[in-house]
Amino acid sequence: MSSLHERIASSFAAQGLMTTLGAQLLHIAPGEVRIALLPRPELSQQHGYIHAGALTSVLDSACGYAALTVAPAECDVLTVEFKINFVRSAVADRFVAIGRVTKAGRTLTVCQGEVVGESDSGQETIAVMQATIINLAGGR
């Protein structure tokens, strides 16, 4: 296992919310992270769709970890801002949150994210995000 993978996987494992949601780290590469979320009744909203808050949390983490893959080794990251648009109802057999670095700077990294719903009938974009992530020297 590479040090990049270990760095991200260790941080992901320490996130109580990702554990609570049942999110799974799928893919780590420089500038890109993918996290899966399986639908469960506990994650639904009143109409039976997966709650926007659950999907937003997983996508925020995917963007943050994508930024961490390109951050200096002595830095940790935190989300400064994000904007998310839901483009269809969250109905699928599995959701994959994909975070990608658009531009990494010395202090701020801009990421784009997408939640893709996967089912037997194919894949559909559920939500898109733009996020700004800050590098924190010395970690927390």
Distance in angstroms (rounded) separating the CA atoms of residues 109 and 34:
17
Domains and CATH numbers, the chain: 3-137 (3.10.129.10)
pLDDT in tens, 84-96: 999 999 999 999 9
Give whole-number Cα distances, 94 to 26, 58, 116, in Å: 12, 13, 8
Six-digit token pair at 101? 């670095």
Q: Are strands 108-119 and 122-137 parallel, antiparallel or unpaired?
A: antiparallel
Distance in angstroms (rounded) separating the CA atoms of residues 124 and 110:
24
CB 30 within 8 A of CB 98: no
Q: How confident is the model at residue 117 (pLDDT cuts 50, 70, 90)?
A: very high
pLDDT in tens, 8-41: 999 999 999 999 999 999 999 999 999 999 999 9
Six-digit token pair at 8? 């991200």
Output the pTM of the full model: 0.95
